[in-house]
Amino acid sequence: MLDCAIIGGGPAGLTAGLYATRGGLKNVSLFEMGVPGGQITKSSEIENYPGFFDSSKTGLDFMETWQKQCFHFGLKHEIKKVNSIEKMGEHFTIALESGDSVEAKTVIVSTGAVPRRANFKGEDEFYGRGVSTCATCDGFFYKDKPVTVLGGGDTALEEAFFLSNICSEVYVVHRRDTFRAAPPTLDRAVRKENIHLITDSVIEEAVGDAMGLSGVDIRNTKTDKITHMDNTGLFVFVGQDVKNDVLKDGNGDFICQMSDFGQVVVDLKMHTSVEGLFVAGDLRIDAPKQVVSAAGDGAIAALQVISHLQEQA
């Protein structure tokens, strides 16, 4: 029986593993279906993690030491995909894709939420090299430069507003002529003088070279006219895939309380509505979707696991 099973090895899961093992728990396993590190390993640069200031290092380089540090303190790593979690009596059963199952006294789920791709030409090629899904992370790279935002929902309009305080001009490209975003959010964007709405339009292609993205081709869907913009940044906000499948039971119902947007409801201690089940990182409600906050969540969740196990002893 594990003291704690951690599911997902991004910044939240790795930090939870570090705090749990250094906090004295002997039997802690991290279930991660791939190489630990999480979404940030897709980034070419990280500039906003406090204390880390080295533009020559990629997100992959950045996360390498996180793994080494965790495993040094006794965290076990299982390269396994988790299918589901079930609470049976006081304990949890974790069903793995392989068909095996594992018992644990507590569980921390940190499987993240991945930004959706829009599937235009060049999106994958320049992802993390000019095509971004995070204004907080990458907006500053385009200080006083023009940027393009793709999407017409609340996230796109809110992030466009955020970018408009950093960048010279923000061009919001949306495939329809009405917006999904809430009217007050849209109104605020319309009133901002450096936000420009380009409707009935899509990104035809992100173009660039070995140095990264240099511009975008925007196609008007009514006229098929293509306009090239020499923007240095393209921010894509076309929705999120919240990785919450492990929290569904056999009927497809969630085992804990969720928000309308598929995120897990937690309190400030990362407690879910199920005792002994904690959630950390991008998967939780109101997540700022940053490495630093995911790591903070992971530390909080692990400290709560330790307290929870002490109370049960």
Q: What positions carry a catalytic annotation?
A: 134, 137-138
Measured from the CB of residue 187, what is the shortest distance to ligand FAD in angstroms? 29
Site string for ligand NAP, 231-250 (x = CB under 6 A): ------xxxx----------
Stretch that binds ligand NAP, among 37-45, 125-133, 145-153, 265-273 (CB under 6 A): 145-153
Which residue from 4, 18, 21, 31 is in contact with ligand FAD, where contact means CB under 6 A?
31
133 lies in the binding site for ligand FAD (CB under 6 A): yes
Question: Tokens in use for 75?
Answer: 């965290």
Question: Measured at the alpha carbon of residue 38, what is the angle toward residues 76 and 304, in degrees to the nearest 5?
Answer: 55
The residue with tokens 């995911």 is 294
Measured from the CB of residue 98, what is the shortest distance to ligand FAD in angstroms? 11
Rounded Cα–Cα distance for residues 215 and 231 (Å): 5
Rounded Cα–Cα distance for residues 8 and 283 (Å): 10
Cβ–Cβ under 8 Å, residues 30 and 51: no
Which residue from 22, 57, 76, 81 is in contact with ligand FAD, where contact means CB under 6 A?
81
Site string for ligand FAD, 182-221 (x = CB under 6 A): ----------------------------------------
Which residue from 3, 4, 13, 29 is in contact with ligand FAD, where contact means CB under 6 A?
13
Question: Tokens in use for 104?
Answer: 């644990």
22 CB burial (10 A radius; 0-12, 13-18, 19+): middle
Q: Which helix (H) or strand (E) holds 93?
A: strand 91-96
Which residue from 46, 85, 160, 256 is in contact with ligand FAD, where contact means CB under 6 A?
46
Measured from the CB of residue 42, what is the shortest distance to ligand FAD in angstroms? 4
Give me the sign of the Cα torsion angle 53, 41, 71, 73.
Answer: positive
The binding site for ligand NAP (CB under 6 A) comprises 118-119, 150-156, 158, 175-176, 180, 202, 237-240, 261
